[in-house]
A and B are shown apart, each in its own frame.
Chain A
Amino acid sequence: MASAYSKDLLLTMYRKMYLMRRFEERTQQQYGLGKIAGFCHLYIGQEAVAVGVNEAVRPDDYMLSGYRDHAQPLARGSHAGMIMAELFGRTGGYSKGKGGSMHIFDIEHHFYGGYGIVGGQIPLAAGMAFASRYRNEDRITVCYFGDAAANQGAFHETLNMAVKWKLPVLYICENNRYGMGTAIARVSAVPEIHKRGAGYNMRHEAVDGMDALKVYEAVKDAAAYIRAGNGPVLMEANTYRFRGHSVVDPATYRSKQEVEDERKNDPIPRLMHYALKEGLAKESDFEAIENEIKEQVDEAVKFADESPEPSLDELWRDTIVEEGEEDVRPRARVLGEKVDNWPSYPSGKDLKVTWDLEPREQAEKADKAAGLKS
């Protein structure tokens, strides 16, 4: 039987996963050299999730994440050199070096940031999804968060509202089984995070997060459901981080055996083997990609290295919007490229809000059920 997937899709996924992997290996190395500092959380091992999700949604769907956020924008098509420059704290970075590892923002690619407070991005995603409904856009919002974030109040408060108001948002819990050094099962009444959706009447499901194609299929289906106006979905991608919580964490809380076993599931060779087995690609296709990526990552490091530190004047910019001030378009600022995918929003004058969040009859029915007169 012929594969359901095109060669193009498989190679695109492979290319992106391979880029994430090599990029982050170089990140670790550059950290060791002292060029990167601060907290720096690697995504190595979890690549199937970012690529599976990204290929299943539209490039103009909104996306945001936690602090483990180098890889998801790479999947979106962000510039590797500009991400590396951000990690270096240089002016060529997406945020001019002001955000660093935990705060990658690439608005041109609709990547609305990495956030350092565990769970803090979860309500933001609901707000972005709210805005899409308010403006009658059919875009969805994809929000990544970790298993430990699911124990935050922000998660529970937001799920409740998202379902009640049918917000077009996909919550992707990347369950890598640890929140820093704490195994999720040790601190969670329900360690299968997706089951928590049931408490909010929310569509919920788990997926093998080490298999890019399974993630892709699950997200395609979920995204269609959300786009059709059915409300949010909670998806738990069961995955594993091969490295410590951050680059300085030796991860001694896990057994060698556990990590070795999980490494057998490495999503990158897994996708390659599938493509080879299905006869969709040849060894040489992968070799070509790998060589290209190595060069791209070398260039990214060089780009970051050559980018100057921000000037001290930058301290006084980008905190308060002054009247008439334009927003910064990083690609135009750094690469001199024209930006035509910068989001534009309808002015209040052209906007017609037709959505009824709580139709009158519904509210009156609820009142009646509660024994109130309307």
Chain B
Amino acid sequence: MAELMYREALNQALAEEMERDANVFLIGEEVGRYQGAFKVSQGLLDKFGSARIIDAPISELGFTGLGVGAAMVGLRPVVEMMTWNFAILAMDQIVNNAAKLRHMSGGQLRCPIVFRGPGGAGGRLSSQHSQALESTYAHFPGLKVIAPATPADAKGLLKAAIRDDNPVVMFEGERLYAIKGEVPEGEHVIPLGKADVKREGKDVTLITWSRMYYFCEEAAKQLESEGISVEILDLRTLRPLDEEAILASVRKTNRAVIVEEGWPLAGVGAQVVDIIQSKAFDDLDAPVVRVTGLDVNMSYAANLENAIQPDAPKIIAAVKKVLYREGA
């Protein structure tokens, strides 16, 4: 298996799906001649030409809606958001049109489209460029929402998303693009809606997705040296949530900590807590604990930026709390 960067895995998925199906095209700012703001579309313009790799003007609402219209009549657009922060301008098209077309038409229409781009905080970019917005989209019926952590998952989930007949919102990790991992070649498709146990353990389950997975790994390693065995469940898909996988893991470890980059109120983690307490209450040995970003706007100052985000020490403290260990 080849070692690829997360961005290369995405690039491979795009290239393979475009080759496989001429209905697939990519549109977004700087995806063509510039080779992608984060280089995900590197080399694709030469391979597929300007009708299929389309440099859009800075008109998020406009080109997103154009994608939705193309999907309504049978094409399979991939709309790249330079980052999800800017996609807030396009939200009307994603939420009011793409998510609702099938319902409003009584099942006449389908909208096979992928909206993808980097999400998440960090890099000293302050409030408008540093947000984990996935819970916003996970709120809406009619959308599927995915957020892969590893290069292999990025490839497999993007391929599945492009083949899916529903609108899929994909959060890539802005800070994950350069990480490396083994990526299966060719037909590697991960079904949407399936979580993945990334680490087996006995004492506590860490439930997470996207970049937070890496902090969980770091925490798990440290905890292991202290004799605590941690299971990590990477949700991968946030809508629909893999309830079975969540419940199975909690029933095994009897303790859960949810690690979410975004804000606590109405976060995806809040829904996970609800699933656990309503369906596996009797299996719990301790209340579920959430580690989230702080309920504030992102700051530029380095120390504030760090303080706002979850990290391994915060996760370790939360694990100790659910284990009733001292120091928590």
Contact = CB atoms under 8 A, between A and B. Distances in A.
Interface of A: 62, 93-99, 103, 105, 107, 112-113, 115-117, 120, 122-132, 134-135, 153-154, 157-158, 160-161, 164, 317-321, 323, 327-330, 343, 345-349, 351-360, 363
Nearest to B142: A319
Contacts of A126: 62, 65-66, 69
Given A127-B69, A157-B59, A343-B73, A321 B49 contact: no
A127 B67 CA distance: 6
Contacts of B108: 94-95, 105, 107, 327-330
Nearest to B101: A113
Contacts of A161: 56-57, 59, 62-63, 66
B68 A318 contact: no
Contact of B105 (A113, A134, A154): A113
B234 interface: no
A117 B96 contact: yes
B75 A363 contact: no
Contacts of A98: 103-104, 106
Give 9 nearest A-B pairs by CB, closest first.
A127-B69, A123-B65, A157-B62, A348-B21, A95-B106, A345-B74, A328-B107, A124-B69, A157-B59
Interface stretch (B22-30, B172-180, B297-305): B22-30
B236 interface: no
Contacts of B69: 123-131
Given A130-B69, A130-B70, A160-B62, A348 B22 contact: yes
B110 A356 contact: no
Contacts of A129: 69
Contact of A327 (B21, B76, B110): B110
Nearest to B76: A348
A321 B102 contact: yes
Contacts of B144: 320
A349 B107 CA distance: 26
Contact of B50 (A157, A348, A356): A356
A355 to B, nearest CB: 4
A348 B23 contact: yes
Contacts of A349: 21-22
Contacts of B59: 157-158, 160-161
A96 B106 contact: yes
Interface string B53-94: 011110101111111111111111100000000000000110
A105 B110 contact: no
Contact of B102 (A135, A318, A343): A318
B109 A134 contact: no
Q: Specify the main secondary structure of chain A where it touches its partner.
A: loop
B199 interface: no
A352 B141 CA distance: 34
Contact of A128 (B51, B61, B73, B102): B73
18 contacts: A94-B108, A98-B104, A103-B105, A124-B65, A124-B72, A127-B66, A127-B68, A131-B73, A153-B61, A157-B62, A319-B142, A328-B107, A348-B24, A349-B22, A351-B23, A357-B50, A357-B51, A363-B33
B52 interface: yes
A323 B192 CA distance: 12
Given A131-B70, A349-B22, A318 B106 contact: yes
A134 B70 contact: yes
A128 B70 contact: yes
A328 B96 CA distance: 21
B72 A120 contact: no
A269 B22 CA distance: 51
A157 B102 contact: no
Given A120-B65, A134-B51, A161-B59, A113 B73 contact: no
A327 to B, nearest CB: 6
Contacts of A116: 96
Contacts of B105: 94-95, 99, 103, 105, 107, 113, 318
B166 interface: yes
Contacts of B73: 62, 112, 127-128, 131-132, 343, 345
A123 B68 contact: yes
B243 interface: no
Contacts of A122: 65
A123 B62 contact: yes
Nearest to B111: A321
Interface centre among B49, B52, B106 (most CB of A within 10 A): B106
Contacts of B127: none
A94 to B, nearest CB: 6
Contacts of A134: 25, 51, 70, 75
Given A128-B72, A164-B57, A321-B110, A345 B23 contact: yes
Contacts of A95: 103-108
Contacts of A347: 21, 23
Nearest to A154: B61
Contact of B106 (A105, A320, A321, A343): A105
B137 to A, nearest CB: 14
Given A95-B104, A321-B110, 10 more contacts: A105-B106, A107-B108, A132-B73, A134-B25, A157-B61, A160-B62, A328-B106, A328-B108, A345-B75, A359-B50
Nearest to B89: A153
A321 B163 CA distance: 12
Given A161-B62, A164-B57, A348-B20, A127 B104 contact: no
